[in-house]
Amino acid sequence: MTILYEWRGPLDNAALDRLHAEGFGHPVGRADWRTRLERHSLGWVCAYGDGALVGFVNIAWDGGAHAFLLDTVVAPRCRSAGVGTALVATAAEHARAAGCAWLHVDFEEDLRRFYLDGCGFKETAAGLVAL
């Protein structure tokens, strides 16, 4: 399958809801992704395979030097084929072009190898408050 990566690519709310549910193992929701992304994001990267949405990452930012990866998801059938690393690399390229100096990501322990080894992130001290 040939994968096409598109910065700020067109997306269908229902298709992203299905991908998100499939990738994160929860029921399909009904989010207004387009409005959310347009309002809060520097941009996003969509991965399409055979005309279907098979990967996605959102890049939120502070309007200055810091960008943040959110919602990185790849359809299970497309995992371990480089789709996730290509999504993150494309996001980093566009964040850099927008003048960002830092790209942040939080992740669960099982994704450590993906982000640190596969995508080149470095460990850093960070904090979190549950709200």
- Tell me what pLDDT residue 53 has: 96
Provide the pLDDT confidence category of residue 127 given band limits of 50, 70 and 90: confident
- Give the global pTM: 0.93
Quick check: is 18 in a domain?
Answer: yes
Reported for 18-27, long-range contacts at CB under 8 A and 24+ positions apart, including other chains, are 19/53, 19/54, 19/55, 19/56, 19/73, 19/75, 20/56, 20/71, 20/73, 22/75, 22/76, 23/73, 23/74, 23/75, 23/76, 24/73
pLDDT, residue 55, reads: 97
Does 130 score more than 90 pLDDT? no
Is 1's pLDDT higher than 90? no
Q: What pLDDT shows up at residue 90?
A: 98
pLDDT number for residue 15 = 95
30: buried, middle or exposed (CB in 10 Å: 19+, 13-18, 0-12)? Answer: exposed
How many domains would you assign to the chain? 1
Mean pLDDT, to the nearest integer, of 49-72?
95
CATH of the domain at 56: 3.40.630.30
**77 or 1, greater pLDDT:** 77
Q: Average the pLDDT over 20-31 and give the result.
A: 92
Query: pLDDT band at 61, cuts 50/70/90?
Result: very high
Mean pLDDT, range 75-92, rounded to an integer: 96
Whether residue 125 is contained in a domain is answered as no
- Written as six digits, the tokens of 57 are 């990452």
Q: Is there a domain that residue 131 lies in? A: no
* 7 strand-pairing partners: 45
Question: Does residue 128 fall inside a structural domain?
Answer: no
Average pLDDT score over residue span 27-53: 94
Q: Which residues contact 64 (CB under 8 A, 6 or more apart)?
A: 99, 100
Is 104 within 8 Å of 79 (Cβ atoms)?
no
Q: Which domain holds residue 86?
A: 3-118
% of the chain surpassing 90 pLDDT: 87
Residue 109: inside a domain: yes
